[in-house]
A and B are shown apart, each in its own frame.
Chain A
């Protein structure tokens, strides 16, 4: 597997310009002769579909939900960053670039991140033109807020529903193209396999979720916009249907998977309250601006928070990190919460929570002020937990939130399979080992609106392809393989459910294994243990899962089983990747790699690279490749929050 980043020549600030000038184009009259498949209709997929259709290509777009408006981008609360410098507080493209690459702990590619910062401003203009109702100042200009510890106010927002409004903007642009007939929209269709012809991505096999029918679609290029793999952990803030299947199918056909161990664990989520829990809900981390995090000093203290006197409370973030206190970055806050709970000081019925206390802020600023800032979050918290944060402290716990790892892509966002592109969260490109708040929306839309068009033209303009349709034998072969997998999954149910396990039971087991050993703090011993225990779970799944119903109907158990089968395989490279990266960086603490003060120690000499895994067949061990990261414009610095 050759990893050619294809970063253009020239100074950093001119690379994108140079690239657009030297890239091949497709004449407007010829674009209609090319068809493109887009999988997924989140920010990246919807914006890419709309944009490519506007440019004249024939686009076939697929999503698993009942409508392209539902993808999980919709749940993003906080906002979207851009280097507009509307607040005149010293922001610039260079600063957004630097903050993003530093936030990622210097594990992403300079040129990609710089381009992201460059197009960030166009995104805001585009969304405003679509009628996205961003928050405004009284004078009518766009409002900004500071987010995720940034020292400038560069985050644009629409109440706490920024993701929803941006996605509905992209969905409206997509809807317009569906109306013109340039996009053929396929809802409730799940991509089951990628089809290669002569080594190039030429199509897909899908399963109709309503009828179970397998179908094939051909095209001149395939774009994956299928999101992250956080649901490998079973519990995460992701939507229930978010999965790794499309990316994993592509990986098994030859697409390198980059940095799969880079998973962001968000510190302020509502804690797990029972074994029936199906997902975790994120609370905006802005809460840490006024809330104080604490646990009882004595392990196993079951008194109600109000009955625990001040001198028996441990405000551990404030004492450990006096400079930043409760505002330490996500990974530090998450890790410390888990440490406290591991020491037996966790609170709540499960002992897997810490307090986030607003009492001091309320006595300082008054209830009205606190409610004005956090009213909707308090309401959401009370709805779920039946507890009022004005009266007693909130309980919070970290949860899997975002995956920085993903399919390896070059500067063109093309994977190691020619003609297969990956955009949005499903690629690894821009966030390194840690993503900054309000940057996911920016990247999804940057890729879809402003980058992929150039890449597609460049690829189609420089690649000679034979006409291929879905009658080609590669398509029928792929379809047969998919049918075989479905039959194999359903094989287990012949003898009935007795003594068998449900899909969710096995998924929970996988989730726990990953959370315990491949979560925010890792060590060699734990990871090796996870690697030894994984095959037993895989075996249990294939021998002992019970999936009711048939493949020729709406069968939600079968859908979940197919996705779990891929998570089970994917988990291996996640653990291997974590094992291989013997440094602490970004989101993760590798316990063997700590400073004297027990802080994360990055190892630039050994690990300043992207780790890319190549599939070696069912029996071969995955092969590791490295893309060395070159820093010509910034100097990697160590983080310190003491």
Chain B
């Protein structure tokens, strides 16, 4: 572990609330340890702003270990920054250089209104899940866990899709503002498993309809979503969703 310090120039999107017109503001940060995470760097900035009597930058974050999906911003045009398969909280400052200018913006999408600074409203993703991202089973009365064998490869494929953390980076990076990687991942997880079969068609229809209703766009195979996904979720899940949707519509 070799620790060095760098100086940075930050251009951060500042917006007072959802109605205000936002703009970029420039901040200088000196002596940033390269062992810091990106969010710790923002903590340092906020402590500095607080001591100066200015308003700290609002940003969402919680677990800081790359799994809750709460954090996220666009760094120099890339959602979650330049490291592949890494959330913003797991991005470390050693990936930046002395004197770098970092442009930091919220995840932008018609379906993600900005609350303040880097904090956005991603509740549209919750509403897609509410439309059908579940198996309709009540608590109790379920069969023994081993009563339906599931091939290991199928369980792993389902798990690949299920590892989505719902951060919304896929939406922010898509030129069409599509949420198809997110929606496709949940539809795939359940359509691959025997538990998901009874509601397979209704689920695909309902989730795709909800996705459209929320104002998300459609996939044109740009693959930007896959490139920024912190969990490496493949666009095969979008193909699977499309097949599920077509089958649900015609058969």
A interface with B by C-beta (< 8 Å): 47, 50-51, 54, 65-72, 74-75, 84, 86, 122, 124-143, 158-159, 161, 163-165, 168, 171-173, 175-176, 178-179, 185, 187, 210, 239-241, 273-274, 276-279, 281-282, 348-349, 383-387, 449-450, 453, 496-497, 502, 504-505, 546, 548-549, 553-554, 556-557
Q: Is B23 an interface residue (CB 8 A)?
A: no
CB of A142 within 8 A of CB of B139, answer no
Q: How far is the CA of A72 from the CA of B52 in the complex (A)?
A: 33
Q: How far is the CA of A54 from the CA of B140 in the complex (A)?
A: 11
CB of B139 within 8 A of CB of A126, answer yes
12 intermolecular pairs with C-beta atoms under 8 Å apart:
A70-B63, A70-B70, A75-B65, A126-B140, A126-B142, A127-B145, A131-B193, A140-B151, A384-B90, A384-B92, A548-B54, A548-B56
Minimum distance in angstroms from B9 CB to a CB of chain A: 19
Q: Is B220 an interface residue (CB 8 A)?
A: no
CB of A130 within 8 A of CB of B195, answer yes
CB of A173 within 8 A of CB of B55, answer no
Q: Mark B110-138, 1 if CB is under 8 A from A, else 0.
A: 00000110010111011001110111111
CB of B139 within 8 A of CB of A554, answer no
> Quick one: given A129-B195, A133-B158, are A386 and B2 in contact (CB under 8 Å)?
yes
Q: Which residues of B contact A65 (CB under 8 A)?
A: 62, 68, 70
> Quick one: given A130-B135, A450-B139, A504-B43, are A74 and B129 in contact (CB under 8 Å)?
no
Q: Mark B25-58, 1 if CB is under 8 A from A, else 0.
A: 0000000010111011001100101111111101
CB of B137 within 8 A of CB of A130, answer yes
CB of B115 within 8 A of CB of A210, answer yes
Closest residue to B192 on the A side, CB-wise? A133
Q: Which residues of B contact A72 (CB under 8 A)?
A: 62-63, 68
> Quick one: given A131-B193, A384-B92, A502-B51, are A67 and B122 in contact (CB under 8 Å)?
yes
Which of B126, B146, B195 is A131 in contact with, Cβ under 8 Å?
B195
Majority SS at the chain A contact face:
loop
Q: Which residues of B contact A557 (CB under 8 A)?
A: 50, 56
Q: How far is the CA of A277 from the CA of B36 in the complex (A)?
A: 7
Q: How far is the CA of A554 from the CA of B114 in the complex (A)?
A: 12
> Quick one: given A136-B152, A278-B64, are A47 and B139 in contact (CB under 8 Å)?
yes
Q: Which residues of B contact A548 (CB under 8 A)?
A: 49-50, 53-56
Q: Is B175 an interface residue (CB 8 A)?
A: no
Q: Is B246 an interface residue (CB 8 A)?
A: no
Q: Is B240 an interface residue (CB 8 A)?
A: no
Closest 6 A-B residue pairs measured CB to CB? Answer: A140-B149, A172-B134, A129-B142, A133-B159, A128-B145, A133-B158
CB of B60 within 8 A of CB of A66, answer yes
Minimum distance in angstroms from A399 CB to a CB of chain B: 12
Q: Is B3 an interface residue (CB 8 A)?
A: yes
Q: How far is the CA of A71 from the CA of B62 in the complex (A)?
A: 8
CB of B122 within 8 A of CB of A240, answer no
B interface with A by C-beta (< 8 Å): 1-3, 16-17, 33, 35-37, 39-40, 43-44, 47, 49-56, 58, 60-65, 67-70, 86, 90, 92, 94, 115-116, 119, 121-123, 125-126, 129-131, 133-140, 142-146, 148-152, 154-156, 158-159, 162-163, 165-166, 189-190, 193, 195-196
Q: Which residues of A contact B136 (CB under 8 A)?
A: 176
CB of B33 within 8 A of CB of A276, answer yes
Which of B47, B58, B69 is A69 in contact with, Cβ under 8 Å?
B69
Q: Which residues of B contact A241 (CB under 8 A)?
A: 62
Tell me the number of A-to-B contacts counted with CB atoms below 8 Å: 233
Q: Which residues of B contact A54 (CB under 8 A)?
A: 138-139
CB of A173 within 8 A of CB of B50, answer no
> Quick one: given A51-B139, A384-B92, are A161 and B134 in contact (CB under 8 Å)?
no
Minimum distance in angstroms from A428 CB to a CB of chain B: 24
Q: Which residues of B contact A453 (CB under 8 A)?
A: 139
> Quick one: given A136-B152, A276-B33, are A67 and B145 in contact (CB under 8 Å)?
no
Minimum distance in angstroms from A478 CB to a CB of chain B: 27
Q: Which residues of B contact A70 (CB under 8 A)?
A: 62-63, 68-70
Q: Which residues of A contact B126 (CB under 8 A)?
A: 67-69, 175, 178, 185, 187
Q: Which residues of B contact A386 (CB under 8 A)?
A: 1-2, 35, 92, 94
Which of B52, B54, B122, B144 is A125 in contact with, Cβ under 8 Å?
B144
CB of A130 within 8 A of CB of B134, answer yes
Q: How far is the CA of A528 from the CA of B207 in the complex (A)?
A: 59
Q: Which residues of B contact A556 (CB under 8 A)?
A: 56, 58
CB of A504 within 8 A of CB of B145, answer no
Q: Which residues of B contact A74 (CB under 8 A)?
A: 63, 67-68
Minimum distance in angstroms from A597 CB to a CB of chain B: 36
Q: Which residues of A contact B36 (CB under 8 A)?
A: 274, 276
Q: Which residues of A contact B70 (CB under 8 A)?
A: 65-66, 70
CB of B55 within 8 A of CB of A136, answer no
CB of A281 within 8 A of CB of B3, answer no
Q: How far is the CA of A239 from the CA of B70 in the complex (A)?
A: 11
Q: Which residues of A contact B129 (CB under 8 A)?
A: 69, 171-172, 175
Which of B44, B86, B90, B155 is A134 in contact with, Cβ under 8 Å?
B155
Q: How far is the CA of A122 from the CA of B145 in the complex (A)?
A: 9
Minimum distance in angstroms from B234 CB to a CB of chain A: 16
> Quick one: given A70-B62, A175-B126, A497-B53, are A276 and B44 in contact (CB under 8 Å)?
yes
Q: Which residues of A contact B61 (CB under 8 A)?
A: 240
Minimum distance in angstroms from A529 CB to a CB of chain B: 28
> Quick one: given A122-B140, A497-B53, are A133 and B193 in contact (CB under 8 Å)?
yes
Q: Which residues of B contact A173 (CB under 8 A)?
A: 134, 137, 139
Q: How far is the CA of A363 from the CA of B187 in the complex (A)?
A: 44
Q: Which residues of A contact B67 (CB under 8 A)?
A: 74-75, 161, 163-164
